[in-house]
Amino acid sequence: MAITESLLPVTSEQDPLSDSRSDPIPETRRRRPIKIHLAVFSGFLLIALYVALIVTHDGSVSKNGANEDGTVVESRARLAGVSEKRNERIWRFSDDQKTVAFAWNNTMLSWQRTAFHFQPEKNWMNDPNGPLFYKGWYHFFYQYNPNAAVWGDIVWGHAVSKDLIHWLYLPFAMVPDQWYDANGVWTGSATFLDDGSIVMLYTGSTDKFVQVQNLAYPEDPKDPLLLKWTKFSGNPVLVPPPGIGTKDFRDPTTAWKTSAGKWRITIGSKINRTGISLVYDTTDFKTYEKHDTLLHQVPNTGMWECVDFYPVSKTKANGLDTSVNGPDVKHIVKASMDDTRIDHYAIGTYYDSNATWVPDNPKIDVGISTGLRYDYGKYYASKTFYDQHKRRRILWGWIGESDSEAADVQKGWSSVQGIPRTVVLDTKTGKNLVQWPVKEIESLRLSSKKFHMKVEPGTVVPVDVGPAAQLDIEAEFKIKKDDLEVILGDDSVEDDKEFSCQTSGLSTVRGALGPFGFSVLADQSLSEQTPVYFYVTKGKDSKLRAFLCTDTSRSTKANDVVKPVYGSFVPVLKGEKLTMRILVDHSIVEAFGQGGRTCITSRVYPTKAIYGATKLFLFNNAIDATVTVSFKVWQMNSAFIHPYSAEDLGVSSRT
């Protein structure tokens, strides 16, 4: 994120990081401790560097998980002409290496399966498809391989839910049974027409691996389960236009209404290295007029997949139907960057008259590396839909694995979906979205415990919550005013211009005002742990800046896992406390900073911190700051996710 405003107001009397409104600290007190702190700080830095060197020297696995021999492994998906819809790094230990891959056994692997996230019973899943609410049911379709725990043979899996949490698996909605989708029924989106009927547009990979768009609709609109889907006899309805690669044309959006009463869609593509979104108008979804102009384009961003386009209200907290436009509305363009596997979005203005969109801030345009992301961890190929039932816009995102393909095959499944999130414009900053797990997730909350703890610099405190594999944590952090003033009073203390969660070291590196937070999925001896934390720094402008990070580097003893430090800047406004929410569900950790301004999803695969050995800790690795934490921890129930039967559905059995 490149937003440089709306930071912690250090000059304000109303210090957001502190309860106390004490008198200004005398100059003498402010100055004195600095030297000591700096000395201590550099001492720790040295130790940290030393530790880092040892780790680097001994570690047979490089931190970013790239192949040791530097080879690039071409995935089967890329060869097929779609994004590498799988773990981005295939673990290969070259012959000349002594390294032995971690010996997973079934006890460890079965524990990794999630309890309240949507995942199929077995095998491979990727993108969310055509989410919608119809006749009392939330429908969720997904890219699915019925035959293996790796990408391939893609069909549309289908599940329904009353509450977005408990799911019933239904028969596949669509399978490759036509020449125009013979190599896969790929990603698509649903649109409600004016009469309430549904059309589905999806990408087919043809018998010749050409990406085309196809139309499908429910066979029986009276069926609330939408069990049967009919493919339009005139498919494909769109083929790659001149100048567009036959494998660069996929993932049609939900359609929205133009002021002229037509329907409009956009489809991601690229021209050379420029990521683009093509625009088409239609009245019947069978024939289309292509616009010569693009909805948007950004040079050097590569192929845009899974483009999403939707309005958000500048003033109201509810979501908006996709066709809504007007002065009170901003429009979001989201694209999934095929090159980096990152979902980027930007906020801007949409012009109905010429079917174009312009970002508010071109410096953080769609796909620019310093621009906005839904999630700074593992989160891709996402798609929103408007839930007309509860007037909210809901975001689904595919969470792939960070372990090896071999481990996926051994455990028999790969990928989960993130907990659906409501998404709205942050009306306080006006510069980012806020995402929050749907309210319904709270129905899984069981017993809870409340805590109020003061954590001294350099301490780790066990949090007694019993088993800690399925948790919902909501926490509020305060830094003691005195400690804050010490830092604010000296310009020579840290400058954050270099700080980033990814590159500034692990959660063990101690700064003046951070890191502090929770270590989740930890074992008693902390030999495995995943710290989720804030790091507060002082910027060039002498304002404080807060970052939210997740450090997975010590999350597992296994060596065949990608273990990055994730995170980003999180806007904290005047008068706000630092707040964090964490959902822990076995091998997935979802973190939300400041009510969902910055989100981080990680996959972690402990080998010791499993079953009864999974613990929760609170830590404060700051050198100068005592942190007071008020928090509540809920044990989370498992969701009911299994194949449907007529009784489950509460409907009479169907023919």
Ligand X SMILES: *[C@@H]1O[C@H](CO)[C@@H](O)[C@H](O)[C@H]1NC(C)=O
Among 353, 447, 492, 653, binds ligand X (CB under 6 A): 353
* DSSP codes, 495-549: -GGG--TTTS--TTS-BTEEEEEEEEEE-TTSSS-EEEEEEEEE-TTS-EEEEEE
CA terminus-to-terminus distance, the chain: 53
* DSSP codes, 53-106: HHHHHH-SS-TT---TT-PPPPPHHHHHTS---S-S------TT---------H
CB of 521 to ligand X, least distance (A): 16
- Residue 429 burial (CB count, 10 A): 16
| Residues 589 and 583 sit within 8 Å (Cβ to Cβ) | yes
Among 272, 447, 492, 653, binds ligand X (CB under 6 A): 272
Q: Is 351 in the site for ligand X (CB under 6 A)?
A: yes
Q: Count how many Cα atoms sit within 13 Å of the Cα of residue 606 in the half-sphere of its side chain.
A: 29
Q: Is 110 in the site for ligand X (CB under 6 A)?
A: no
Find out whether the peptide bond into 236 is cis, omega within 30 degrees of 0. Answer: yes
* DSSP codes, 152-217: -S-EEEEEEESSSSSEEEEEEEE-S-SGGGTT-EEEEEEEE-TTS-EEEEEEEE-TT--EEEEEEE
**385-404 positions binding ligand X, by CB under 6 A:** none
Interface region with ligand X, contact rule CB under 6 A, candidates 62-70, 106-114, 170-178, 494-502: 106-114
Task: Return the number of the residue (97 or 293) whose C-beta is nearest ligand X.
Answer: 293
Interface region with ligand X, contact rule CB under 6 A, candidates 99-107, 443-451, 585-593, 619-627: 99-107
Q: How far is CA 447 from CA 338, 442, 609, 632, in A?
A: 42, 12, 21, 10
| Size of site (CB under 6 A) for ligand X | 11
CB of 356 to ligand X, least distance (A): 4
CB of 351 to ligand X, least distance (A): 4
CB of 406 to ligand X, least distance (A): 16
Q: Is 524 in the site for ligand X (CB under 6 A)?
A: no
Task: Return the number of the residue (353 or 492) whose C-beta is nearest ligand X.
Answer: 353
Q: Is 328 a catalytic residue?
A: no
Interface region with ligand X, contact rule CB under 6 A, candidates 20-28, 164-172, 347-355, 560-568: 347-355
Burial class (CB in 10 A: 0-12, 13-18, 19+), 600: buried
CB of 273 to ligand X, least distance (A): 8
- Residue 212 burial (CB count, 10 A): 22
CB of 410 to ligand X, least distance (A): 12
Q: Is 653 in the site for ligand X (CB under 6 A)?
A: no
| Residues 108 and 523 sit within 8 Å (Cβ to Cβ) | no
Among 271, 409, 460, 465, binds ligand X (CB under 6 A): 271
Among 18, 356, 519, 587, binds ligand X (CB under 6 A): 356
Among 42, 99, 107, 110, binds ligand X (CB under 6 A): 107
Task: Return the number of the residue (412 or 595) whose C-beta is nearest ligand X.
Answer: 412
Helix then strand count (H, E) for the chain reads 6, 37
Interface region with ligand X, contact rule CB under 6 A, candidates 103-111, 200-208, 231-239, 527-535: 103-111
Task: Return the number of the residue (101 or 271) whose C-beta is nearest ligand X.
Answer: 271
Contacts for 373 with CB less than 8 Å, ≥ 6 apart: 1, 342, 343, 344, 345, 379, 568
Q: Is 525 in the site for ligand X (CB under 6 A)?
A: no
Q: Is 601 in the site for ligand X (CB under 6 A)?
A: no
Task: Return the number of the residue (297 or 601) whose C-beta is nearest ligand X.
Answer: 297
Which H, E and C letters describe 251-300, residue by residue?
Answer: CCCCCEECCCCCEEEEEEEEECCEEEEEEEEECCCCCEEECCCCCEEECC
Q: Is 6 in the site for ligand X (CB under 6 A)?
A: no
| Residues 516 and 619 sit within 8 Å (Cβ to Cβ) | yes
* DSSP codes, 413-463: EE-EEPPPEEEEE-TTTSSSEEEEE-GGGGGGEEEEEEEEEEE-TTEEEEE
Nearest by Cα to 246 from 81, 77, 84:
81
CB of 295 to ligand X, least distance (A): 10
Q: Is 503 in the site for ligand X (CB under 6 A)?
A: no
Task: Return the number of the residue (28 or 105) whose C-beta is nearest ligand X.
Answer: 105
CB of 345 to ligand X, least distance (A): 21
CB of 276 to ligand X, least distance (A): 10
Give CA 650 to chain center in angstroms: 34
DSSP-derived letter for residue 135 is T
Interface region with ligand X, contact rule CB under 6 A, candidates 217-225, 351-359, 466-474, 638-646: 351-359
Q: Is 259 in the site for ligand X (CB under 6 A)?
A: no
Task: Return the number of the residue (293 or 638) whose C-beta is nearest ligand X.
Answer: 293
Interface region with ligand X, contact rule CB under 6 A, candidates 102-110, 152-160, 501-509, 540-548: 102-110
Task: Return the number of the residue (226 or 522) whose C-beta is nearest ligand X.
Answer: 522
Interface region with ligand X, contact rule CB under 6 A, candidates 38-46, 66-74, 104-112, 431-439: 104-112
Q: Is 244 in the site for ligand X (CB under 6 A)?
A: no
Which residue in the list 127, 308, 375, 624 is annotated as catalytic? 127
Task: Return the number of the residue (272 or 655) whose C-beta is nearest ligand X.
Answer: 272
In the block, residue with structure tokens 């399966």: 113
Instruction: Give the relative orientation of helices 481-488 and 27-58 as an angle to the nearest 10 degrees.
Output: 90
CB of 105 to ligand X, least distance (A): 4
Task: Return the number of the residue (259 or 353) whose C-beta is nearest ligand X.
Answer: 353
Q: Is 106 in the site for ligand X (CB under 6 A)?
A: yes
Read off the tokens for 445: 């909350």
Nearest by Cα to 205 from 218, 232, 187, 217:
187
- Please state, in angstroms and rounded to a whole number, the distance separating the CA atoms of residues 608 and 386: 41
* DSSP codes, 99-128: -------HHHHHHHS-SSS---SSEEEEEE
Task: Return the number of the residue (612 or 650) whose C-beta is nearest ligand X.
Answer: 612
Q: Is 315 in the site for ligand X (CB under 6 A)?
A: no
Q: Is 652 in the site for ligand X (CB under 6 A)?
A: no
CB of 586 to ligand X, least distance (A): 16
Among 11, 28, 354, 652, binds ligand X (CB under 6 A): 354
Nearest by Cα to 435 from 516, 356, 518, 334:
334
Task: Return the number of the residue (75 or 356) whose C-beta is nearest ligand X.
Answer: 356
* Bridge partners for 470 per DSSP: 585
Q: Is 293 in the site for ligand X (CB under 6 A)?
A: yes
Residues annotated catalytic, as ranges = 127
Give me the residues that bind ligand X (CB under 6 A), please. Answer: 105-108, 271-272, 293, 351, 353-354, 356
